[in-house]
Amino acid sequence: MSIPRVVVRAPAKINWTLEVLGKRPDGYHEVRTVLQTIELCDTITLTPADAIELEITGDRASLAEESIEDNLAYRAAALLKKRCSYAGGAHIDLEKRIPVAAGLGGGSSDAAAVLRGLRALWQLDISDSDLSGIAAELGSDVPFFVRGGTARATGRGERIEALPDTAGQMLVIAWPERRTANKTARMYAALREEHFRSPGAGPDEEEVNTFELVLGDVDPEAAALFVRAGQLIHQTPRLCGSGPAFFLTVPADQVAVAITALEGLGLHAIASRPITAAEATAMSIDG
């Protein structure tokens, strides 16, 4: 008899908008953001095992100093096993393609993919709502990736409202090789009162990301590349999360030219596109 195997897609995300509304009493920041899963993804393969095991392949250079137990994919499996009192385990084969600590949500997406995949592998009777509750214990972006597609997130990012799928368009995603240590914490710490949008104001109809206001304070080199990229492509770039990755909406016939120009700045650059909730949560089950 063949060994059961579940293969799950873990897509990256961009933020069409990201407004920081202020600091909360619990120490987190109140945000309002429109999130979008994109074609760039990690791949997770799950098979039965006596305990929880994690093997990482692919682009794992920036994960070298992270212990297996600290990885969000491992933590997701351990938490689901505990919450559901599941006796067995799973071998998690994580193939990395999404750059780490770039604002593209790779770790959070890996965690959500593990939750969805193990629900199938372990044949757990648990609803999407309950799965999202477990996801929220792992991080603010994880509940979004349980569903994927296009969605508005509020609170600290854990309250998710599904939105109609975004029409197909081509994106160019770019990011620098060098990363800033503790980048997200430093970006939030750089925000001042004048950067916050009033919670009573309606959602901004323009594509805006509050973190673009302080990128130069935290990472001047990344900020200079961000500005130069916009000048070269003649498009307004948008930061992904707290960066340093950013995206541009580029006509299909200009994608190759845009990628070449961005690579000329020393950036990694790829073509991608928005994907629907159905595409974002696709999985295959064998055995």
Cis peptide bond N-terminal to 11, omega within 30: no
Spell out the per-residue pLDDT of the chain, length 287, in tens. Answer: 567 999 999 999 999 999 998 888 887 788 999 999 999 999 999 999 999 999 998 875 555 567 888 899 999 999 999 999 999 999 999 999 999 889 999 999 999 999 999 999 999 999 999 999 999 999 989 999 999 999 999 998 889 999 998 877 899 999 998 877 788 889 888 888 878 876 555 555 556 899 999 999 999 999 999 999 999 998 899 999 999 999 999 999 999 999 999 999 999 999 999 999 999 999 998 86
Active site includes 141?
yes
DSSP 3-state of 158: coil
Given a contact cutoff of 8 angstroms between Cβ atoms, the answer to whether 9 and 99 are in contact is no
**pLDDT given for residue 203 in this prediction:** 53
- CATH architecture type of domain 1-287: 2-Layer Sandwich (3.30)
Task: Specify the pTM.
Answer: 0.92
Q: What are phi and psi of 174, to 5 degrees?
A: -135, 150
Locate the domains of the chain by residue range: 1-287
Residues near 76 by beta carbon (within 8 Å), at least 6 away in sequence:
110, 111, 112, 114, 115, 118, 134, 135, 138, 142
217 is written with which tokens? 């304070």
DSSP 3-state of 139: coil
> Of 81, 141, 183, 219, which residue is the catalytic one?
141
**pLDDT given for residue 26 in this prediction:** 80
DSSP 3-state of 262: helix
> Of 13, 81, 96, 183, which residue is the catalytic one?
13
**pLDDT given for residue 217 in this prediction:** 92
Given a contact cutoff of 8 angstroms between Cβ atoms, the answer to whether 241 and 15 are in contact is yes
**pLDDT given for residue 195 in this prediction:** 83
**pLDDT given for residue 60 in this prediction:** 55
CA-CA distance, 47 to 6, in Å (whole number)? 7
